[in-house]
Amino acid sequence: MTVYDAYGTNFYTAEQLASLLADRLDVTFTERESHYLGVYFLATLADTTSLQIQPNAIPGDDGEDDLYDDEHPDVSVLLLITSPVAAELFSDELSTVGELTRL
Give 39-98 pLDDT, tens digit per residue: 999 999 878 889 999 999 998 888 788 999 999 999 999 999 998 876 566 788 888 899
Q: What is the CATH number of the domain that holds 31?
A: 3.30.160
CA atoms within 13 A on the CB side of 65: 12
For range 10-30, the mean pLDDT: 95
pLDDT over 90 at 11, yes or no: yes
**Single-letter code of the amino acid located at 43:** A
pTM for the structure as a whole: 0.90
For residue 23, give Cα distances in angstroms to 20, 31, 58, 66, 67: 6, 16, 26, 31, 28
Confidence of residue 33 (pLDDT cuts 50, 70, 90): very high
Longest dimension (CA), the chain: 40
Report angle CA 86, 90, 96 to the nearest 5 degrees: 140
Residue 9 CA to residue 22 CA, distance in Å, equals 16
Count the domains in the chain. Answer: 1
Range of the domain at 16: 3-102
The pLDDT value given to residue 48: 86
